[in-house]
Chain A
Amino acid sequence: MTYKVTEEGNISTVHLDGEIDMDVTEKAKEVIMPLIEAKKEVHLNLKEVQYMDSSGISVLIESHQKAMELGTKVTLKEISKSVLKVIMMAKLEQILNLD
Protein backbone atom coordinates (compact mmCIF):
# COMPACT_ATOMS: atom_id res chain seq x y z
CA MET A 1 0.00 0.00 0.00
CA THR A 2 1.17 3.51 -0.75
CA TYR A 3 -0.51 6.80 0.06
CA LYS A 4 -0.47 10.49 -0.64
CA VAL A 5 -2.05 13.22 1.48
CA THR A 6 -3.29 16.49 0.04
CA GLU A 7 -4.68 19.43 2.02
CA GLU A 8 -7.30 21.97 1.08
CA GLY A 9 -8.55 24.21 3.87
CA ASN A 10 -9.71 21.96 6.71
CA ILE A 11 -10.04 18.95 4.42
CA SER A 12 -7.25 16.38 4.27
CA THR A 13 -7.55 13.89 1.45
CA VAL A 14 -5.72 10.60 1.83
CA HIS A 15 -5.25 8.85 -1.51
CA LEU A 16 -4.68 5.17 -0.78
CA ASP A 17 -3.21 2.91 -3.42
CA GLY A 18 -2.76 -0.87 -3.61
CA GLU A 19 -4.05 -3.69 -1.44
CA ILE A 20 -5.16 -3.11 2.14
CA ASP A 21 -4.84 -6.13 4.40
CA MET A 22 -3.78 -6.91 7.96
CA ASP A 23 -0.14 -6.28 7.06
CA VAL A 24 -0.69 -2.59 6.28
CA THR A 25 -3.53 -1.55 8.57
CA GLU A 26 -1.21 -0.07 11.18
CA LYS A 27 0.45 2.03 8.49
CA ALA A 28 -2.97 3.19 7.25
CA LYS A 29 -4.05 4.10 10.78
CA GLU A 30 -0.80 5.99 11.39
CA VAL A 31 -1.67 8.18 8.41
CA ILE A 32 -5.39 8.64 9.00
CA MET A 33 -5.80 8.87 12.78
CA PRO A 34 -3.58 11.92 13.44
CA LEU A 35 -5.57 13.86 10.83
CA ILE A 36 -8.82 12.98 12.61
CA GLU A 37 -7.28 13.80 15.97
CA ALA A 38 -6.30 17.20 14.55
CA LYS A 39 -10.07 17.55 13.86
CA LYS A 40 -9.59 17.71 10.12
CA GLU A 41 -12.37 16.57 7.85
CA VAL A 42 -10.85 13.54 6.18
CA HIS A 43 -11.57 12.29 2.69
CA LEU A 44 -10.33 8.79 1.93
CA ASN A 45 -9.90 8.38 -1.80
CA LEU A 46 -10.18 4.66 -2.56
CA LYS A 47 -10.06 4.81 -6.34
CA GLU A 48 -6.73 2.96 -6.54
CA VAL A 49 -7.42 0.38 -3.85
CA GLN A 50 -7.76 -2.94 -5.67
CA TYR A 51 -8.30 -5.13 -2.63
CA MET A 52 -9.52 -4.63 0.91
CA ASP A 53 -10.22 -7.31 3.51
CA SER A 54 -11.87 -7.24 6.94
CA SER A 55 -8.80 -5.55 8.45
CA GLY A 56 -9.14 -2.68 5.99
CA ILE A 57 -12.84 -2.44 6.77
CA SER A 58 -11.95 -2.22 10.45
CA VAL A 59 -9.76 0.81 9.70
CA LEU A 60 -12.71 2.47 7.94
CA ILE A 61 -15.03 1.76 10.90
CA GLU A 62 -12.46 2.91 13.46
CA SER A 63 -11.78 6.12 11.52
CA HIS A 64 -15.49 6.83 11.15
CA GLN A 65 -16.16 6.26 14.84
CA LYS A 66 -13.17 8.33 15.97
CA ALA A 67 -14.26 11.21 13.72
CA MET A 68 -17.80 11.10 15.10
CA GLU A 69 -16.42 11.11 18.65
CA LEU A 70 -14.33 14.22 17.89
CA GLY A 71 -17.07 16.01 15.99
CA THR A 72 -15.54 15.73 12.55
CA LYS A 73 -16.18 13.51 9.54
CA VAL A 74 -14.55 10.86 7.35
CA THR A 75 -15.93 10.54 3.82
CA LEU A 76 -15.04 7.75 1.41
CA LYS A 77 -14.46 9.07 -2.10
CA GLU A 78 -14.25 7.41 -5.53
CA ILE A 79 -14.61 3.96 -3.99
CA SER A 80 -13.33 1.22 -6.30
CA LYS A 81 -15.75 -1.52 -7.30
CA SER A 82 -13.93 -4.20 -5.32
CA VAL A 83 -13.87 -2.11 -2.12
CA LEU A 84 -17.53 -1.14 -2.51
CA LYS A 85 -18.42 -4.80 -2.76
CA VAL A 86 -16.70 -5.57 0.56
CA ILE A 87 -18.32 -2.54 2.24
CA MET A 88 -21.71 -3.79 1.07
CA MET A 89 -20.95 -7.35 2.13
CA ALA A 90 -20.29 -5.91 5.61
CA LYS A 91 -23.59 -3.99 5.33
CA LEU A 92 -21.83 -0.71 6.06
CA GLU A 93 -23.06 1.36 3.14
CA GLN A 94 -25.64 3.07 5.37
CA ILE A 95 -23.21 3.58 8.24
CA LEU A 96 -20.07 4.97 6.62
CA ASN A 97 -20.15 8.22 4.63
CA LEU A 98 -19.91 7.17 0.99
CA ASP A 99 -19.58 9.72 -1.77
Chain B
Amino acid sequence: MEQSHIANVDEKRDFEVNSSNLKHVRSFCREVFERLNINQELKDELVLAIAEAAQNIVKHAYNNEQTEDKMEIKISVSDGHLEIGFFDKGRPVEKDKIRHRKIDDIKPGGLGTFFIQQIMDAVVFKEGEKPWINHLILSKNLNN
Protein backbone atom coordinates (compact mmCIF):
# COMPACT_ATOMS: atom_id res chain seq x y z
CA MET B 1 0.00 0.00 0.00
CA GLU B 2 1.31 3.45 -0.92
CA GLN B 3 2.15 5.55 2.13
CA SER B 4 0.16 8.75 2.57
CA HIS B 5 2.09 12.03 2.45
CA ILE B 6 -0.28 13.39 5.07
CA ALA B 7 0.93 13.35 8.68
CA ASN B 8 -0.81 11.18 11.24
CA VAL B 9 -2.65 13.15 13.91
CA ASP B 10 -4.53 12.27 17.07
CA GLU B 11 -5.88 15.23 19.03
CA LYS B 12 -8.87 15.77 21.25
CA ARG B 13 -10.24 18.68 23.20
CA ASP B 14 -13.24 19.46 25.40
CA PHE B 15 -15.42 22.51 24.93
CA GLU B 16 -18.24 23.83 27.04
CA VAL B 17 -21.45 23.49 25.08
CA ASN B 18 -22.43 27.03 24.13
CA SER B 19 -22.40 29.15 21.02
CA SER B 20 -19.63 31.43 22.28
CA ASN B 21 -17.26 28.45 22.21
CA LEU B 22 -17.73 27.79 18.49
CA LYS B 23 -14.86 30.16 17.72
CA HIS B 24 -12.63 28.07 20.01
CA VAL B 25 -13.73 24.93 18.18
CA ARG B 26 -12.65 26.56 14.92
CA SER B 27 -9.30 27.65 16.40
CA PHE B 28 -8.62 24.10 17.60
CA CYS B 29 -9.40 22.67 14.13
CA ARG B 30 -7.25 25.28 12.39
CA GLU B 31 -4.34 24.47 14.73
CA VAL B 32 -4.63 20.77 13.95
CA PHE B 33 -5.13 21.17 10.20
CA GLU B 34 -2.13 23.50 10.00
CA ARG B 35 -0.01 20.38 10.53
CA LEU B 36 -1.53 18.58 7.56
CA ASN B 37 -0.21 18.79 4.05
CA ILE B 38 -3.56 19.65 2.46
CA ASN B 39 -4.64 22.78 0.60
CA GLN B 40 -6.13 25.79 2.37
CA GLU B 41 -9.47 25.41 0.62
CA LEU B 42 -9.90 21.90 2.01
CA LYS B 43 -8.78 23.04 5.46
CA ASP B 44 -11.46 25.78 5.39
CA GLU B 45 -14.12 23.29 4.29
CA LEU B 46 -13.21 20.88 7.09
CA VAL B 47 -13.30 23.68 9.67
CA LEU B 48 -16.79 24.58 8.40
CA ALA B 49 -18.01 20.97 8.61
CA ILE B 50 -16.71 20.57 12.16
CA ALA B 51 -18.11 23.93 13.29
CA GLU B 52 -21.51 23.04 11.80
CA ALA B 53 -21.54 19.71 13.66
CA ALA B 54 -20.56 21.46 16.91
CA GLN B 55 -23.27 24.05 16.29
CA ASN B 56 -25.82 21.24 15.86
CA ILE B 57 -24.87 19.92 19.30
CA VAL B 58 -25.45 23.37 20.84
CA LYS B 59 -28.71 23.87 18.92
CA HIS B 60 -30.28 20.44 18.86
CA ALA B 61 -28.75 18.25 21.58
CA TYR B 62 -28.98 21.13 24.09
CA ASN B 63 -31.68 23.34 22.52
CA ASN B 64 -29.27 26.25 22.94
CA GLU B 65 -29.94 26.08 26.69
CA GLN B 66 -27.31 26.95 29.28
CA THR B 67 -25.37 23.95 30.50
CA GLU B 68 -22.13 23.12 32.21
CA ASP B 69 -21.77 20.02 30.05
CA LYS B 70 -18.84 19.69 27.73
CA MET B 71 -18.56 18.15 24.32
CA GLU B 72 -15.43 16.39 23.19
CA ILE B 73 -14.03 16.68 19.69
CA LYS B 74 -11.43 14.20 18.54
CA ILE B 75 -9.54 14.62 15.27
CA SER B 76 -7.55 11.67 13.98
CA VAL B 77 -5.69 11.19 10.74
CA SER B 78 -4.17 7.85 9.90
CA ASP B 79 -2.75 7.04 6.46
CA GLY B 80 -4.59 10.02 5.04
CA HIS B 81 -7.95 8.96 6.43
CA LEU B 82 -9.52 11.70 8.54
CA GLU B 83 -11.98 10.83 11.26
CA ILE B 84 -13.60 13.42 13.50
CA GLY B 85 -15.49 12.26 16.55
CA PHE B 86 -18.01 14.38 18.45
CA PHE B 87 -19.16 13.22 21.88
CA ASP B 88 -21.89 14.90 23.90
CA LYS B 89 -24.26 14.23 26.77
CA GLY B 90 -27.25 16.09 25.37
CA ARG B 91 -30.61 14.87 24.13
CA PRO B 92 -30.23 11.62 22.18
CA VAL B 93 -30.14 12.22 18.45
CA GLU B 94 -33.21 10.97 16.60
CA LYS B 95 -31.42 9.66 13.54
CA ASP B 96 -34.60 9.38 11.46
CA LYS B 97 -35.31 13.09 11.92
CA ILE B 98 -31.93 14.28 10.69
CA ARG B 99 -32.21 15.62 7.24
CA HIS B 100 -31.13 18.82 5.59
CA ARG B 101 -33.77 20.95 3.96
CA LYS B 102 -34.30 20.65 0.23
CA ILE B 103 -31.69 22.92 -1.25
CA ASP B 104 -34.16 24.58 -3.65
CA ASP B 105 -36.46 25.41 -0.73
CA ILE B 106 -35.02 28.81 0.07
CA LYS B 107 -35.51 29.54 3.74
CA PRO B 108 -33.24 30.33 6.67
CA GLY B 109 -32.00 27.28 8.56
CA GLY B 110 -31.33 23.63 7.79
CA LEU B 111 -28.16 24.24 5.81
CA GLY B 112 -25.60 23.02 8.35
CA THR B 113 -26.28 19.33 7.77
CA PHE B 114 -26.24 19.93 4.01
CA PHE B 115 -22.78 21.53 4.27
CA ILE B 116 -21.48 18.63 6.37
CA GLN B 117 -22.73 16.11 3.84
CA GLN B 118 -21.28 18.09 0.94
CA ILE B 119 -17.83 18.26 2.54
CA MET B 120 -17.42 14.88 4.22
CA ASP B 121 -17.41 11.37 2.71
CA ALA B 122 -19.41 9.81 5.54
CA VAL B 123 -21.53 10.91 8.50
CA VAL B 124 -22.38 8.25 11.09
CA PHE B 125 -24.39 8.63 14.30
CA LYS B 126 -23.68 6.14 17.04
CA GLU B 127 -24.91 5.71 20.56
CA GLY B 128 -22.18 7.09 22.81
CA GLU B 129 -20.46 4.84 25.29
CA LYS B 130 -20.82 6.04 28.89
CA PRO B 131 -20.59 8.83 29.96
CA TRP B 132 -21.48 10.05 26.46
CA ILE B 133 -24.98 9.95 24.99
CA ASN B 134 -24.25 10.83 21.37
CA HIS B 135 -21.26 9.97 19.23
CA LEU B 136 -21.08 11.45 15.74
CA ILE B 137 -18.34 10.44 13.35
CA LEU B 138 -17.43 12.46 10.26
CA SER B 139 -14.87 10.94 7.94
CA LYS B 140 -13.05 11.80 4.76
CA ASN B 141 -10.25 10.33 2.70
CA LEU B 142 -7.67 13.12 2.36
CA ASN B 143 -5.58 11.21 -0.20
CA ASN B 144 -8.08 11.91 -3.00
A interface residues (Cβ-Cβ under 8 A, vs B):
19, 21-23, 51, 53-55, 57-59, 61-62, 65, 82, 85-86, 89-92, 95
Contacts and interface: CB of A to CB of B under 8 A. Distances in A.
A58 B111 contact: yes
Interface residues on B, range: 20 to 34
Nearest to A55: B55
Interface of chain A, main secondary structure: helix
Most buried by A among B20, B41, B51: B51
A22 B111 contact: no
Nearest to B19: A23
A82 B44 contact: yes
Given A53-B55, A58-B109, A62-B108, A19 B44 contact: no
Contacts of B41: 85
Interface in B84-140: 103-104, 106-109, 111-112, 114-115, 118
9 closest pairs, A vs B, by CB?
A58-B108, A54-B111, A23-B19, A54-B112, A22-B19, A62-B108, A61-B108, A21-B22, A23-B20
Nearest to A63: B108
